[in-house]
Amino acid sequence: MALHTTTLELSTQGDSDIIDITHRVQEELLNSPLSDGLVTVFVPGSTGGVITLEFEPGLVHDLQEAFERWAPRDHDYRHDRAWRDGNGHAHVRASLIGPSLSIPFKERKLILGTWQQIAFVDFDNRPRRRVLILQIMGE
């Protein structure tokens, strides 16, 4: 058993931008010495999350609409009253979705459904540069 940690940098548009990172996670697996195990994608930050979804434009839209129902942008958040950065909804959505996701891999390949992709969601209200942590454990 061994541990391999790496990072994944990306630029986002913010505003619940959903970015398919499947191929980049898969690429990092191939760069690691491990063949079987678990990769954990972690967002070090309080306005981003990791999900899986069938990555197609219809569902990307449907999910963004659901985020708006679950934590509306124009709600009166106390966070915004105090900090005036207007991203209270981003924080609430990020805590709901969660910053961490673990996916198994076998023979150097992620085990995912045929129509299942891994995505980073940037809930913040402005474009961001993000650095995600990939922690790969296995043998």
Q: Which residues bind a copy of itself (CB under 8 A)?
A: 1-3, 5, 36-38, 40, 42-46, 51-54, 56-59, 61-63, 66, 70-71, 77-83, 88, 91-92, 94-104, 106, 111-113, 115-116, 133, 135, 137-139
CA gap 128, 130 in Å, rounded: 6
Identity (one letter) of the amino acid at 3? Answer: L
Tokens, residue 79:
């966070």
CB of 30 to a copy of itself, least distance (A): 19
Shortest distance, position 52 Cβ to a copy of itself, whole Å? 5
CB-nearer residue toward a copy of itself: 30 or 82? 82
- Distance CA(73)–CA(98), nearest Å, equals 18
Write out the two tokens for 76. 């009166």
Q: With b meaning 16 or more CB within 10 Å and e meaning fewer, what string describes 74-83? A: eeebeeeeee
Given the complex with a copy of itself, which of 15 and 53 has the nearer CB atom? Answer: 53
Smallest separation, CB 94 to a copy of itself (Å): 8
Find the shortest distance in angstroms from Cβ 31 to a copy of itself.
17
Rg (CA), the chain: 16
Nearest to 112 by CA among 34, 22, 28, 20: 22
